[in-house]
A and B are shown apart, each in its own frame.
Chain A
Amino acid sequence: MSSASAISLRGVVKRYGDLTAVAGLDLDVPVGTCVGLLGPNGAGKSTTMKILTAQAIAQEGEAEILGHRLPGDSKAARARMGVVPQQDNLDQALSVRHNLYVFAHLYRIPRHEREAAIERALEIATLTDRADAQVKELSGGMRRRLLIARALVHDPELVLMDEPTVGLDPQVRQELWALIDHLRNEGKSILMSTHYIEEAERLCNTVVVMAKGRAVAKGTPHELIAEHAGESALEVYGPVARLAEVEADARDRGWATRRTGTSVTILNAHVNGDYPEGIRRASNLEDVFVLLTGEAIH
């Protein structure tokens, strides 16, 4: 089973009218690994997540989760996985414990194990102290932890996380990263969508870069950087006119560049070469991301 895939998608296509949200996606999540779907808004990450829970039905392609074919066998697959949604859909009027209790039922945990399962989920999410608080009293970070606890109450083999840290403070994000890392070390298979580069870099064994409904690159963060952005990059600062000049010059020489707000970054800048004055830094996944998914924000 160790070489098998927890998730396997082949040529999946999903159209909404004229809009093609997912355009022939191939995706594998090997058992026990964390795969990150990295892409800008509108790349098809959330639609992919919906296809995996059979809330969206693909028009073409094949999808399998833990050996169950979708959408026909989706319910059996859903019984064995947990889903952390992007949008808070907790029961606001209920306590933390009651939210977990409902899902302990839905995930068909036998009666005599329910209490222990809820306590365990509370502990993982460090919400034991707030178990009897109402959801509407919780902070954003606590709610997100509760969403994760709810997805883990039945100790699933696979966890789907759709933008698990979107909209949270950096401190809270660190906390959630530690929690997700813990799950990874426990051997759970994880598929997580994100548009935070640092998140993918820190947590994912494999990153799949998505753009316009397709997987445009795949590999470990290191591989992706080495392959697409090279070892180092050069950031050139200056007034707008100077930046345009550097950009034009780079284009003539066939160098890849990207705008980094106040500077222009020349990617794959070799140690020896006739480069303009600038600050040299290690290439990162963000360089890859922008290179592969385009500069313009749609």
Chain B
Amino acid sequence: MASIASRLRASDEPRRLDRHSILGVLVREMINFTAYWKSTTFSSSVEPTIYLLAFGFGLGALVDQIDGHTYVEFVGTGTIATAVMMSSVFSAMFGAFFKAEHQHTYDALLAAPVDTEEIVTAEALWIGLRASVYGCIPMFVAMIFGLDPAWGMFAVPVIAFFTGFGWACFGLIFAAILNSVDHFSYVTSTIVTPLFLCAGTFFPISTLPSAIEFAANFNPVYHCVELVRGFIFNTQSFGDVAFHVSVIWAFSFICWRIAIRCQTKNLIH
């Protein structure tokens, strides 16, 4: 009997970024997701709801309008970008660490015809897909509290996907270079929290000192917030969209390559 492997040999030499390998890793993620989707989805929906309630009603009572929008509209759209970041960075960082150190999943995958490049790509694609759903949850919540429906909302899952991909790669970088879960809190307090706050999510960046306002231009969360607001409120020019999209793509591409490099260093000796 000719073995399956030898029958496949001629037509199907595995390539770099091979679609079979990427699909295989994606399938693994999807089946595993069926085992833990409830808890993940719960926290991904409850968190933005709490932000909306706290800021929308708490701060919203003090704030009249920002840039011509009610505070609920302002925070509701801002929370989309932070939900994308939070759900992507943390599940990538903790997930990869758990798979590398505890479940030895990467050992299993790398013994099959899969390379680190494909693992990183597939996991980031999967988290990006999830982010495109989780990013919409705060939008729906905000709609309950008064955000008006708009055609531009259909762009939100697409924006969330590309940004989520980048954030997943960002998380995979730190999962590779930090050797203890305890160190993840450094990433949270020194990188994630400042990026989350200085992005025009809860207040416009124009209220910040000019140096920080300038620095926000390098913050992917800011560009994600601007894109989302621009589409939902239909307030941006083609040039604005091109600019924000370019920054997000550049961020995602750079993080993707660095994540591959760091994970390879971590997994291949």
Contact = CB atoms under 8 A, between A and B. Distances in A.
Interface magnitude class on chain B:
35 or more
Interface stretch (A52-60, A239-247, A254-262, A283-291): A52-60
B123 interface: no
B12 interface: yes
B149 interface: no
A92 B103 CA distance: 8
A206 B108 CA distance: 27
A101 interface: yes
Contact of B107 (A16, A87, A103): A87
B150 interface: no
Interface stretch (B28-36, B226-234, B240-248): B28-36
Interface stretch (A71-79, A174-182, A215-223, A272-280): A71-79
Contacts of B5: 79-81, 107, 154-157
Nearest to A107: B112
Contacts of A94: 31-32, 35
Interface string A85-113: 10111111110001001110111111001
User: B interface, by DSSP: helix, strand, loop or mixed?
Assistant: helix
A236 B174 CA distance: 60
B53 to A, nearest CB: 33
Given A80-B9, A108-B20, A155-B5, A55 B35 contact: no
A55 B13 CA distance: 20
Interface of B: 1, 3-6, 8-9, 12-14, 18, 20-21, 23-25, 27-28, 31-32, 35-36, 103-105, 107-115, 267-269
17 contacts: A16-B269, A50-B269, A53-B110, A53-B111, A55-B268, A75-B14, A78-B112, A78-B114, A79-B113, A85-B108, A89-B108, A102-B27, A103-B24, A103-B112, A105-B23, A105-B24, A156-B3
